[in-house]
Amino acid sequence: MKKFFTIFFVTLGVLFFVLLLVLAYLFVFDPLNLKPLFMSSPDSASTATTAAVEGETTATTTTAGSQLSPAQEAALKSVGIASDAVPTFTEVQLQCFEGVLGKARVDEIKAGAIPSATEFYKAKVCM
């Protein structure tokens, strides 16, 4: 019985150590690009969300040539995409977005809704 407990706890220790190594790798090298979701700057999407919740109206100024609202630009920045890298979308891209996200959701986003992080990753194949 003593041998069983020894093997059991050594196995648990090795699994815990491997788990720590995997988590350290994910934190240091960030292959899934998750750091922008957890470590965002204070002027990112949370500010836009706070302003929207408090009922404040903000001007809908956009950068030159861009069709994105400031909140949408902040959402792009929070997932690591430069807003000037995607100033306009082609018809092929819009059809791809409709295929991935659905026509109703694409229309909502065109009207100014902020896409979620999941929608960014789903639509990444279209860019």
Give me the number of domains the chain comprises: 2
pLDDT for residue 5: 95
- Are 79 and 23 contained in the same domain? no
Alpha helix ranges (H) inside the chain: 2-29, 35-38, 45-53, 70-78, 91-101, 103-110, 117-123
Domain residues for 17?
A: 1-31
For the stretch 49-107, pLDDT in tens is: 444 444 443 333 334 345 677 887 777 777 777 766 665 778 888 898 889 989 998 88
pLDDT at 120: 81
Per-residue pLDDT, 48: 44
Residue range 8-51, pLDDT digits in tens: 999 999 999 999 999 999 888 888 877 777 776 554 444 444 44
Residue 7 within a domain: yes
- Confirm whether 118 is domain-assigned: yes
The answer as to whether 37 is a domain residue is no
What CA–CA distance (Å, rounded) separates 107 from 37? 25
Q: Are residues 12 and 50 in the same domain?
A: no
My answer on whether 27 and 77 are in the same domain is no
